[in-house]
Chains A and B, each alone.
Chain A
Amino acid sequence: MTLVGVLGLQGDVREHVAAMAALGVATAVVRTPTDLAAVDALIIPGGESTTMSLIATREGLFPPLRTAVAEGMPMYGSCAGMIMLAREVLDGRPDQQTLGALDIAVRRNAFGRQVDSFEADLAMPCLGEEPLRAVFIRAPWVEQMGPQVEVLGRVTGGPAEGRIVAVSSGRVLATSFHPELTGDLRVHALFRDMID
């Protein structure tokens, strides 16, 4: 049976665990290289991306994470997780490390500070007709991307109209927003289907 890891260094780990559990998928929290070796796929949760990078560096997690990326482990990242999966982060810390699992450059805190955080309906055609209620919290957006990256969703309306906020490439998925906070399981189901 597939075991999905949730990177548990910091952030909304429990919500991702709960979302996968609701889909009947077994999960394990990953905090060490040993934990990582035991899982078949990885979710990187929302949180503070610079803190996550610092802690992952301190725990010696980047080398095994990069190996997992190279070996094609399916990965999904929301918000800070999207930043971790990116090739490049704009407006990050100078020493901030990322995994380069997706050929994208993301801008951190792109929508502004917390007072600019928002929720909005988002069309994601790959999830069906019904729009997704997307929660953006000091969220990043995708600013550049390589040719093999597929856009799954863009902001409609509001000041950030047209910004790319959901992408995938191969078996790697990333969203600027937090489906784990809304109870809508469609994004997690999409990831589950990418694993199989």
Chain B
Amino acid sequence: MIETAHATGTARVKRGMAEMLKGGVIMDVVTPEQAKIAEDAGAVAVMALERVPADIRAQGGVARMSDPDMIDGIIEAVSIPVMAKARIGHFVEAQVLQSLGVDYIDESEVLTPADEKLHIDKWEFTVPFVCGATNLGEALRRIAEGAAMIRSKGEAGTGNVVEATRHMRSMVSGIRSVQSMGEEELFNAAKELGAPYELVREVHELGKLPVVMFTAGGIATPADAAMMMQLGAEGVFVGSGIFKSGDPVKRANAIVQATTHYDNPDVIAKVSRGLGEAMVGINLDELSPEQRYAGRGW
């Protein structure tokens, strides 16, 4: 690779940004006031969106990128990084978000997909992207398209961690399996995963994804966050879990502490006390296949 004197938007700069978020909690916020609460609690970044996933579920309709005024308001309100969501495949929403100066774009299955076949060509952008994935093959396809960070999808807006667990376990066991393969098996693995050989090879060598991997989708308690970290997540996205709970300030602080001390049950026990009402939560068997967001994206 020829290195120029001054280069923005390189893979290293995009992936490096995610490295700086590791060990942290990224919180969904819908107003500048919520963004302040998140920042005060120690969030490493906020995700600006119009409705949290629980409300998107409840209210239905097409879910789109947020109003630029609202994103500007949140960028003004906090000094930590601001992320925002674009619909899967909606490259113009992504162009708009880049022009607004957001620090990361989430090409998200929580919004209604805009393209049933193609994701955004993320290499075209200076701003980095995070994408959801349910398994290793999906994660590597997103990375091949230019994603600089991966989050396991889980099932957003449910307050139910079971899908996040499934996707983290699937990702980690996929990585372990590729890592332990012989060189000659990697070609077939690439075919079976539906992912480029070069990336499969990289996973084989690194024993991890070539980008940072967070978890998302259903995390509602400090123990949920800590469990995902113990399962191998490098950080946590919390969507509806904080601002749909009885005491958002306390819960936000508790989830940050549980993420820092994810391997220390004494701390998790301490911060889990007296948090008030958790978000109500949905059992997954109450959702029909079309109500599941994790199936969006391919």
Contact = CB atoms under 8 A, between A and B. Distances in A.
B57 interface: no
Contact of A55 (B16, B40, B42): B42
Given A9-B260, A48-B44, A118-B8, A109 B20 contact: no
Interface string A87-122: 000011100000000000000110001111111110
A196 B29 CA distance: 48
A15 B13 CA distance: 15
Interface residues of B, number: 39
Contact of B5 (A10, A80, A121): A121
A106 B284 CA distance: 49
A119 B12 contact: yes
Interface in B1-43: 3, 5-10, 12-13, 16-17, 19-24, 39-43
Interface string A164-193: 000000000000001001100000000000
Contact of B22 (A13, A120, A121): A13
A178 B43 contact: no
Nearest to A8: B23
A21 B40 CA distance: 35
A59 B98 CA distance: 36
Closest 4 CB pairs of A and B: A114-B103, A158-B6, A10-B23, A12-B19
A138 B81 contact: yes
Interface in B90-123: 98, 101-104
A122 B125 CA distance: 25
Contacts of A115: 8-9, 98, 101, 103, 126-127
A91 B79 CA distance: 8
A11 B23 contact: yes
A109 B101 CA distance: 13
B128 A114 contact: yes
B103 A51 contact: no
B20 A47 contact: yes
B20 A116 contact: no
A115 B97 CA distance: 11
A120 B5 contact: yes
Given A10-B260, A157-B5, A178-B16, A138 B103 contact: yes
B79 A50 contact: yes
A117 B128 CA distance: 11
A13 B23 contact: yes
A54 interface: yes
B261 interface: yes
B13 A117 contact: yes
A110 B127 CA distance: 18
